[in-house]
């Protein structure tokens, strides 16, 4: 059984190797420098992984849009009712409504975590391939880093490139129509603040009223 798994695992790596190695070959062809090719190729691979993850995240949000909307509506309703109860100094209703609001907040919170996993779906495949292709390659670091040591392996390089890919994405997604729509859609799905009453304002008024007395 283990032998079959190793066979298919290696077969899978050889298949994706033909795709993932393309940017490395391209940059080596341009610069004739294996180090430049390694770092630039890893950056392109990281950026591609981010773009695919964003597409998956947008798709997941889209298919769950009705459920997300219903959870947001319930959260807004119970939260606003709890604020109104606080304004009326009805502590019993406040605790009841606040408990309901917290329940829907928790559902939204864990749903968002589950949906966000779609951003990372492709990363295990990339890391497995990087280990397969560049597992023995290490670069000396000027200083020793905790948990890393004095040498950077493929995981460290990929994480740095993935972070840079995020920063680059933040600068350019507005110019990519489909990703601009995805970001806008995700914000709309999660934006409930404008419809929620401010409990802080109620508490502020109560504090000011107590000072006057």
Q: What are the tens digits of pLDDT across the range 70-89?
A: 888 888 888 888 888 877 77
Which pLDDT value is given to residue 28? Answer: 95
Measured between alpha carbons, how far apart are the two ends of the chain, in Å? 78
Instruction: Work out how many domains the chain is built from and give that number.
Output: 1
Which pLDDT value is given to residue 19? Answer: 93
**How far are the Cα atoms of 134, 142, 153, 158, 206 from residue 138, in angstroms, in the given order?**
9, 13, 5, 12, 61
For every residue of the chain, DSSP letters joined together read -HHHHHHHHHHHHHHHHHHHTHHHHHHHHHH--HHHHHHHHHHHHHHHHHHHHHHHHHHHHHHTHHHHHHHHHHHHHHHHHHHHHHHTT-HHHHHHHHHHHHHHHHHHHHHHHHHHGGGGTTHHHHHHHHHHHHTT--EEEEEEETTTEEEE-HHHHHHHHHHHHHHHHHHHGGGSHHHHHHHHHHHHHH--GGGS--HHHHHHHHHHHHHH-
What residues in the chain have per-residue pLDDT under 50? 207, 209, 211-212
Segments forming the whole domain that contains residue 118: 2-212
Which pLDDT value is given to residue 22? Answer: 95
Q: For residue 149, what are its two tokens? A: 């040591």
- Report the distance separating Cα 179 and Cα 172, nearest Å: 9
- Report the distance separating Cα 54 and Cα 120, nearest Å: 9
């Amino acid at each position: 059984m283990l032998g079959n798994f190793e066979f298919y695992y290696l077969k899978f790596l050889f298949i994706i190797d033909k795709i993932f190695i393309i940017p490395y070959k391209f940059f080596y062809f341009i610069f004739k420098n294996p180090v430049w090719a390694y770092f630039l190729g890893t950056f392109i691979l990281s950026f591609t992984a981010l773009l695919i993850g964003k597409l998956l995240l947008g798709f997941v949000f889209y298919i769950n849009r009705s459920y997300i909307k219903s959870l947001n509506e319930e959260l807004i309703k119970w939260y606003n009712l709890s604020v109104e109860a606080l304004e009326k100094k009805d502590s019993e209703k406040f605790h009841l409504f606040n408990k309901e609001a917290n329940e829907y907040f928790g559902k939204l919170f864990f749903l968002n975590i589950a949906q966000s996993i779609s951003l990372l779906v492709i990363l295990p495949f990339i890391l497995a391939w990087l280990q397969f292709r560049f597992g023995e390659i290490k670069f000396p670091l000027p200083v020793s880093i905790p948990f890393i040591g004095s040498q950077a392996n493929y995981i460290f390089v990929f994480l740095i490139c993935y972070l840079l890919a995020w920063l680059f994405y933040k600068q350019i997604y507005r110019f990519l129509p489909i990703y601009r729509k995805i970001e806008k859609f995700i914000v709309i799905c999660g934006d409930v603040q404008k419809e929620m009453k401010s409990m802080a304002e109620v508490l502020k008024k109560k504090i000011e009223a107590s000072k006057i007395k």
